[in-house]
Amino acid sequence: MNVLIIEDEKALAHELELFLVKNNYICEISYNGASASEKIAVNLYDFILLDLGLPDYEGLDLLKEAKKTNPEAACIILTARAEVNDRVKGLDLGADDYLAKPFSLLELQSRMQAITRRKFGITQTIIDLDGFLVNITERTIMYHVNPVNAITKKEFDLIAYMLLHKNRTLTRAQLSEHIWGSVINDDYDSNFIDAHIKNIRKKLSIFAPADWLETVRGLGYRIKSNV
């Protein structure tokens, strides 16, 4: 998932980036409001981590921009401001959560995971796809009692992202942007995504056909699930 970190304290920004990348997020950093405003206007993010105390921009105004141009992005306010009014204003403007500095990185991760579960209506961490048990939290796949160890990190990211949007067709561009952090250019080889899907199917077919991983001709891919 794509994360925009808006934080003028460079040491903290890099600490957040290192932690989140380690936990399979794709990160961009803006050290000021002007840079963040430009990024928000042209890119789509799954999460925006916003420091209200920016040197050149009113953080709440930036939050308004984010909710307008990135309405599906989850916004978490990170700030040293302790006043209740700032917290209430941010939440009223559409922020999904609020963490006052200093905060635990593990708590931030936990809150991001909770927001993801709420946003996509996930009520369980283990999802059964015709015998394939996908554990979103532990990032593992089992076929009944047998571990599917051949799946790579990016292949699991693809499966997990499609599971968040189960029964919805995702285009190659959408998959590329949210898994690799960039949109496929018009002249890019579209087989990039197709090759990953083919590899996933091949590895799963050792155990059983993955008929739930569907190709939607001319559009993209989807995971079909009644769970």
User: Domain segments of the chain: what residues?
Assistant: 2-119, 126-223
Q: DSSP class of residue 185?
A: P
- Per-residue pLDDT tens over the stretch 110-134: 999 889 888 877 777 889 999 999 9
- Per-residue pLDDT tens over the stretch 28-71: 999 999 999 999 998 889 999 999 888 899 889 999 999 999 88
pLDDT at 179: 76
CB 128 within 8 A of CB 163: no
Predicted model pTM: 0.77
Task: Pick 126-223's CATH classification: 3.40.50.12780, 1.10.10.10, 3.40.50.720, 3.40.50.1820.
Answer: 1.10.10.10
Please determine whether the domains at 2-119 and 126-223 fall in the same fold group of CATH. no
The sign of the torsion formed by the CA atoms of 152, 154, 155, 156 equals positive
Alpha helices in the chain (DSSP H): 10-22, 33-42, 59-69, 84-92, 105-119, 153-164, 172-180, 191-204
Fold of 2-119: Rossmann fold (3.40.50)
- Per-residue pLDDT tens over the stretch 166-211: 999 999 888 887 777 655 444 444 578 899 999 999 999 999 999 9
CB 2 within 8 A of CB 28: yes
